[in-house]
Amino acid sequence: MAGPSSYLRFSLSIFFFSFFLFSIFIPSWYHPSHKPKLRPNRFFPTSKSPVVEEPPRICKTKTRPSSRTIHHPLDPLTPQEITRVGLILRSYPPFESSPPPIHSLSLHEPEKPEVLAWEKGDPLPPRRAFVLALSSGRTHELVVDLGSGLVEAHSIESGSGYPPLTLDDLVAALAVPFASVEFNESILARGVQLSDVKCITPSSGWYGQAEEEKRRVIKVQCFDQEGTSNFYMRPLEGLTMTVDIDKREIVKFLDSGRGIPIPKSAGTEYRYGSVEEEVGRDSAPPLKPISMEQPGGPSFSVEGRHVVKWANWEFHLKADHRAGMVISRARVRDPETGTLRSVMYKGFVSELFVPYMDPDDGWYFKTYMDAGEFGMGVTAMSLVPLNDCPRNAYYMDGIFASSDGTPYSQSNMICLFERYAGDISWRHYESPLTGAEIRESRPKVTLVARMASSVGNYDYIFDWEFQTDGLIQVKASLSGMLMVKGAPFENTKNVPEDYEMTGPLVSENVIGVIHDHFMTFHLDMDIDGSNNSFVNVRLEKEETPPGRSPRKSYVKARRLVARTEGDAKIKLKLYEPSEFHVINPSRLSRLGNPAGYKVVPGGNAASLLDVDDPPQLRNAYTNNQIWVTPYNRSEQWAGGLLVYQSRGDNTLATWSERNRPIEDRDIVLWYTVGVHHIPCQEDFPVMPTVQLSFDLKPVNFFESNPILHAAPYFEKDLPVCTMAASF
């Protein structure tokens, strides 16, 4: 048996595969530089895969500036600024002797009135950085002034929770089990080669367990990757270690599943060129390649790296280490006046809550808060041209900071492209019965801003899609691998009646555990200015008085303006329908209607957990689908600033208990989308994409249809294409 040092080296190699979503940072981690390091283009190079990742295409009418010049108050920190923050902190007296690891470093945005008053050409507000650092188990919050080179504010967090995990945390945790004799004996007793072991680090949650109090802990679970790259489908069930991240020791060792078979590797592969041909199955003929061509080039432009202009829209777009992608200062041009009108100051996904429904010792803690525990930006992957984004997409990088203050680049993290899928923007064909021959139709072309995060086994794709009629559709799509549980059954007929199945069999010896996905969005709506109100427009049934009409009932709309936060806590109900408007009561149309936007829910789900269940306490913001709060720059993260092992004492739900006034004020709307996922065989071995969405739709914002004057397409406007073969 190899010695501990060889296991340590081996565990580090395990890390690159088992938690590959973070391994991209290693090349830049230990090499400070003013220039951000680029991550590798490929994570699993293999001779089996013929896919060649071509260089991303950038719109010919736009180029990436060669220097990281600041053009806008909301532009993210540059590599030079990140490096400077690191230098300032290392010379800061409290940290001089032992600089603490940086867990978060981002732009400390100027005050909102400063940003709103700023116009292109004005001097930029002072640049500041917001830092979360961890020292001796205590979280330090710092604001660093880049102009003066001084720490402007410094406080130590006294509440529960820790900042997001760093790569160093994960590397340290993954190394610990391989130095354990007990762990190595368990692996060999299961008949698994150490070279085939891959491990991951699920977050621990918080359950008040004595051995986990006052220390940062994380779980380590392992898989057998023999014969497949999809090790997630081959769990070493029942093997779970609780690791103290800072002391680098095992706090609790659980090994209860040695008798559970390791699922087979056959049929688990998903890489192109590696998927096995199944004998006797007739596959559908492959689709011919398809692409939307733009002979005149794209219709959007990107100024100063971050300001996007397209059709009647203008907004600021940037990458964020925690939210992933942030849309700011979204404004739409009024067709009547030609002026840009404010719609939204800032929008982003604030938190993701993913609870698994299994109470076993190796599963109960799987109640992830992906944004606050890991970060949607730092887990983002380079988008794959032609597959993640179409041919004419424009790509943006994310620039983030490692734990020692070194900047690194997430290349091609966001893409921007125009979409046309044959949809119709508006149409009307007049019936010949009227004697008028009218056929009018307009194509729908939209602009999409997209990013994708790979948080362990799951992939999340986020789209903000802008339409010329003023509508914004926000989409969250799920794909990737199920988190599965090993089981001693190959067929449902072999499952005893008294065996508690926490999900269906999706393959032999594989249970797809039931779980939920909730995504809460922070939507700082600024409809024609900051002073807005929230209106619940209820649809209520009215009984028709006897003798008035053959109808017995009809529906009326009743408008209720929310005075306080308590009035705006909304649980969606199918048989109590409402519309949810954010209006500017001071901006009236020519007919006297207040300008507004409404949230249009798509398919949704609500949490079914007990409100006092620890994971639900930490994620109590999912108790309602809609909340409205007064604007507060410190209230951005629905689960709180410090999420890891938090107790739910600083969340959207606790803020809203103050029941503050929200009428005719600067308000923020929070909206949660969700889905209950009961896995099925079609989700194995990789899950087809599932999409959730909601719309932000203008309501009395324009005087009439804003795209009434849009032009149709004509043959002369489009390239002439010939078919390669007849049907």
Positions marked catalytic:
370, 458
Structure token pair of residue 682: 């079609």
Q: How far is CA 335 from CA 273, 338, 339, 496, in A?
A: 51, 5, 8, 67
Which residue matches tokens 């995990």?
Answer: 165
Q: How far apart are CA 162 and CA 520, in angstroms?
A: 20
Q: Which of 347, 407, 415 is nearest to 378 (CA)?
A: 407
Q: How far apart are CA 725 and CA 676, in angstroms?
A: 45
Structure token pair of residue 622: 């999912």
Name the DSSP class of 47. Answer: T
Residues 393, 398, 404: CA angle, nearest 5 degrees: 160
Q: Which of 458, 489, 20 is nearest to 237 (CA)?
A: 489
**What is the H or E stretch that residue 174 is in?**
helix 167-175
Helix, strand, or coil (residue 183): helix
Q: How far apart are CA 487 and CA 508, in angstroms?
A: 8
DSSP3 helix / strand / coil % (the chain, rounded to 5): 15, 35, 50
Burial class (CB in 10 A: 0-12, 13-18, 19+), 145: middle
Burial class (CB in 10 A: 0-12, 13-18, 19+), 665: middle
Contact call for residues 266 and 276 (beta carbons, < 8 A): yes
Structure token pair of residue 318: 């940037």
Q: How many residues does the chain have?
A: 727
Q: How far apart are CA 697 and CA 597, in angstroms?
A: 5
Count of other CB atoms within 10 angstroms of residue 591: 7
Name the DSSP class of 203. Answer: B
Sign of CA dihedral 334, 339, 342, 346: positive
* Backbone dihedral region for residue 131 (phi beyond 0: left; psi -120 to 50: alpha; all else: beta): beta
Strands 407-419 vs 37-38: parallel, antiparallel or unpaired:
parallel
Structure token pair of residue 488: 């001693």
Q: How far apart are CA 163 and CA 104, in angstroms?
A: 8
Residues 475, 480, 483: CA angle, nearest 5 degrees: 115
Contact call for residues 533 and 521 (beta carbons, < 8 A): no
- Extended strands (E) in 339-422: 340-355, 367-369, 394-401, 407-419
**Terminal Cα-to-Cα distance of the chain (whole angstroms):** 65
Sign of CA dihedral 401, 407, 411, 417: positive
Q: How far is CA 532 from CA 333, 613, 658, 661, in A?
A: 19, 35, 19, 12
Name the DSSP class of 634. Answer: T
Phi and psi at residue 80, in whole multiples of 5°?
-65, -40
Instruction: Encode 428-439: b = buried (16+ Cβ within 10 Å), e = exposed.
Output: eeeeeeeeeeee
Q: Which of 461, 526, 519 is nearest to 690 (CA)?
A: 461
